[in-house]
Amino acid sequence: MTASILSLSPQHWTDYELLDTGEFEKLERFGPYIMTRPEPQAIWDRSLPVEEWEKRSHAIFRKDPKNPEKGSWNVKGKMPHNWQIGYQKDGMNLKLNLAMSSFKHVGLFPEQACNWDYIYERIQAMPVQKPKVLNLFAYTGAASIAARAAGAEVTHLDAVKQVVTWSRHNMESSGLDGIRWVVEDAMKFVKREAKRGNKYHGIILDPPAYGRGPDGEKWLLDQQINEMLKLCAEILEPEHHFFLLNMYSLSFSALIAKNLVDCSFKNINNAAYGELFLEDSFDKKLPLGIFYRFHS
């Protein structure tokens, strides 16, 4: 089995733009609004002067010095706390609802658009009526909605009830319905599915570096990802399938993802692995996660 090494970045997304990066921050446009957010991997210089960033930004996130995990937004003018942007490609038409959180996030990871395209294309090409797709650690659900837009029966799982509610809002805004929502610990769910012999034609696995289940269950990526992948291999349909792993941990490389997946799955075909990135207006490439994917 051979695998292609790729670096992927979204193209032609009119509602999103990475304007500049540097000095541990990024300047982004989401629809009509421009934001400054922290970015730990942007260790180089800005291309625009900081005064230009401040002039352009409708909202600037600043960390809380007493709690670096949280912070607050300095909002200018009449920028709303909630707004919506779209993503369209090849028949897929997503409407995604954004909001300013105290964790710097807005409910969307733009680099993931490459994976939405892949999910949509794989389901459309699959010779199965209504393929079953499982999205684990699914966050606000853009990948789930891409799968549903392609005609799949989708199970969306996240441990946080609020983001599942956010995902439902995104589904409804996109003119879709029928996604199965599950608020549960991912490991518990997958173990139960394997025990029951349930199978999925597509599995999307996007785990955080660490997290908590709804009942306080602990998730540690480096300690549990190997077991999770082995369980996913048990519940993936052997004939018609796709699998997509995405990870953000700064300590993990694409080669680690490749080794993990190759040790867990048999008969891998059409594999690719590498980095996801966004390119700013000055041609600087910001790495934003690693992936491994394959399909039958």
With a CB cutoff of 8 Å and minimum separation 6, the contacts of 1 are 262, 267, 268, 269, 271
Cα angle 134-139-142, degrees, rounded to a multiple of 5 = 70
pLDDT of res. 5: 77
Domain of 200, in residue numbers: 3-9+108-295
Residue 28 lies in a domain: no
Q: Tell me how many domains the chain contains.
A: 1
- The amino acid at residue 234 is E
Give the pLDDT band (50/70/90) at residue 155: very high
Residue 81, domain member (yes or no): no
Q: pLDDT-derived band of residue 191, with 50, 70 and 90 as boundaries? A: very high
Q: Give the mean pLDDT of 228-234.
A: 98
Q: Is residue 100 part of a domain?
A: no
CATH of the domain at 282: 3.40.50.150
Q: What does the pLDDT average to over 265-281?
A: 95
Does residue 168 carry a pLDDT above 80? yes
Asked if the structure places residue 170 within a domain, the reply is yes
Whether residue 162 has pLDDT greater than 90:
yes
| pLDDT(116) > 70 | yes
* Mean pLDDT of the 26-38 span: 97
Is the distance from CB of 147 to CB of 119 less than 8 angstroms?
A: yes
Indicate if the pLDDT at residue 1 is higher than 80: no
pLDDT > 80? residue 249: no
CB 134 within 8 A of CB 235: yes
**Is 18 part of any domain?**
no
Residue 97, pLDDT > 90, answer yes
What average pLDDT does this structure show over 203-228? 94
Q: Is pLDDT above 80 for 31?
A: yes
pLDDT band at 67 (very low <50, low <70, confident <90, very high): confident
| Residues 55 and 27: beta-carbon distance below 8 Å | no
As a whole-number percent, the residues of the chain with pLDDT over 70 amount to 99
Report yes or no on 222 lying in a domain: yes
Per cent of the chain over pLDDT 90 is 88
pLDDT at 2: 65
Tell whether the model's pLDDT for residue 120 goes beyond 80: yes
Collapse the DSSP code of 260 into the 3-class scheme (helix H, G, I; strand E, B; otherwise coil) and give the result.
helix
Burial string for 49-85 (b: 16+ CB within 10 Å, else e) reads: eeeebeeebbbbbeeeeeeeeebebebeeebeeebeb
The pLDDT confidence band at residue 124, using thresholds 50, 70 and 90, is: very high
Task: Look up the pTM and report it.
Answer: 0.96
Residue 34 in domain: no
166-190 CB burial, b ≥16 within 10 A, e <16: bbbbbbeebebeebebbbbbbbebb
Is 130 a member of any domain?
yes
Phi/psi of residue 135, nearest 5 degrees: -110, 110
The CA–CA distances, whole Å, from 219 to 213, 214, 228 equal 7, 11, 11
